Amino acid sequence: MFDGGGSGGFDMSNLLAQAQAMQDQLMKAQADLETQEVSGSAGGGLVTAVVSGTGELLSLDIKKDAVDPEDTETLADLVVAAVRDASENAKAAAAQAMGPLAGGIPGFGGESPFGDAPASPELPGGGIGFTKPSGPPGQNPV
């Protein structure tokens, strides 16, 4: 069935070598992300958060001007916003670092072709599928 790589054949060893190279690149990119520091801020720089490239919160800087003992809710909101900003910046850095590796191989744990879109609310369980398939078995519903 497979001739091992002759002309017009399927070269399994080449495919495995490419998969190994891709895995090595992915592991290196992930290791690089762990050492990166990405910042985000809120309130015009009153609160600054620093996260690793993988999203772990590393530090939080709060300027004295942000601290009002009578209004701790605003400070809390600024902290949340700064951490969220840093996390989004880290996601963007990770997407750039991973480049073409981020997509993976469809069906093998790669990124969904639907991105980060939420599950469809029209379908039970929010997933993609059919609630009542129509037509003969093995056929796509109309």
Q: In a 3-state reduction of DSSP, which class is residue 75?
A: helix
Most confident of 2-6, 14-18, 110-114, 136-140: 14-18
Q: Which pLDDT does position 54 carry in this prediction? A: 82
**Token pair 């919160």 in the structure block, residue:** 57
The backbone torsions φ and ψ at residue 117, rounded to the nearest 5 degrees and listed phi first, read -60, 140
138 φψ region: left (φ > 0), alpha (ψ -120 to 50), beta (else): left
Most confident of 20-29, 42-51, 86-95: 42-51
Q: Which pLDDT does position 6 carry in this prediction? A: 52
Q: Which pLDDT does position 102 carry in this prediction? A: 56
pLDDT (mean) for 55-77? 94
Q: Which pLDDT does position 28 carry in this prediction? A: 85
C-alpha triplet 57, 58, 62: angle, nearest 5°: 90
Helices 72-98 & 12-35, crossing angle to 10 degrees?
A: 150
Which has the closest alpha carbon to 44: 73, 66, 59?
Answer: 66
Count of CA atoms in the C-beta half-sphere (13 A) of 142:
3
**Token pair 């796509």 in the structure block, residue:** 140
Q: Inform me whether the pLDDT recorded for 64 exceeds 90.
A: yes
The backbone torsions φ and ψ at residue 125, rounded to the nearest 5 degrees and listed phi first, read 80, -5
**Token pair 């801020």 in the structure block, residue:** 41
Q: Inform me whether the pLDDT recorded for 58 exceeds 90.
A: yes
- Annotate 95-122 with DSSP letters as a single string: HHHHGGGGG--TTTT---TTTTPPPPTT
